[in-house]
Amino acid sequence: AHVVTESCILCKYTDCVTVCPVDCFHEGPNFLVIDPLECIDCTLCVAECPVDAIYLDADLPNGMEEYPELNTQLAKTWPVLIQKKPALADAETWGKVRDKRIYLVT
Ligand code: SF4
Ligand code: F3S
């Protein structure tokens, strides 16, 4: 399955949700996740994300090993999002910041 990784935190551009054919994105306060059980690996969302947050779980960047489990767990309680909405206020600034895991609000 595909999963959302750290770059999304505090950005949440939501371009990804508009292309998903199975509506498997779920929204939290400052992050989005994919429900890996619903994702059909169409890859359409990957190119939509302005901060390159989405990866195939078998092809994760170093340091992102925790994200498949985070996506699985958070997708169970966060609501589905299917329509694009405005990015978070400081998305442009946060898009350039690394090590944002500590800011994730669940
Ligand atoms: Fe949805 Fe396709 Fe992205 Fe999976 S890879 S989350 S099915 S758009
Ligand atoms: Fe997050 Fe990128 Fe989607 S920032 S909300 S994964 S477009």
If you measure from the C-alpha of residue 69 to the centroid of ligand 1, how many angstroms do you get, rounded to a whole number?
Answer: 17
Residue to probe by mutation, ligand 2, list 54, 94, 104, most atoms within 8 Å of CB: 54
> For position 33, what pLDDT does the model report?
99
Nearest CA, atom 3, ligand 1 = 45
| Mean pLDDT estimate for the chain | 98
pLDDT digits (tens, 9 = 90+) for 15-44: 999 999 999 999 999 999 999 999 999 999
Of residues 37, 47, 35, the one with CA closest to residue 82: 35
Predicted confidence band at 62 (pLDDT cuts at 50, 70, 90)?
very high
Domains in the chain, ordered, with CATH? 2-85 (3.30.70.20)
Q: How does 59-87 read in b/e, with b if 16+ C-beta sit within 10 Å?
A: eeeeebeebbebbbebbeebeebeeeeeb
Is 43 near ligand 1, meaning CB less than 6 Å away?
A: yes
**Closest approach atom of ligand 2 to CA 15:** 7
> For position 81, what pLDDT does the model report?
98
Predicted confidence band at 77 (pLDDT cuts at 50, 70, 90)?
very high
Predicted confidence band at 76 (pLDDT cuts at 50, 70, 90)?
very high
Is 38 near ligand 2, meaning CB less than 6 Å away?
A: no
Ligand at shortest distance from the CA of 81: 2
Q: With contact defined as beta carbons under 8 Å apart, do 21 and 42 qualify?
A: yes
Mean pLDDT along residues 95-100: 97
Is 87 near ligand 2, meaning CB less than 6 Å away?
A: no
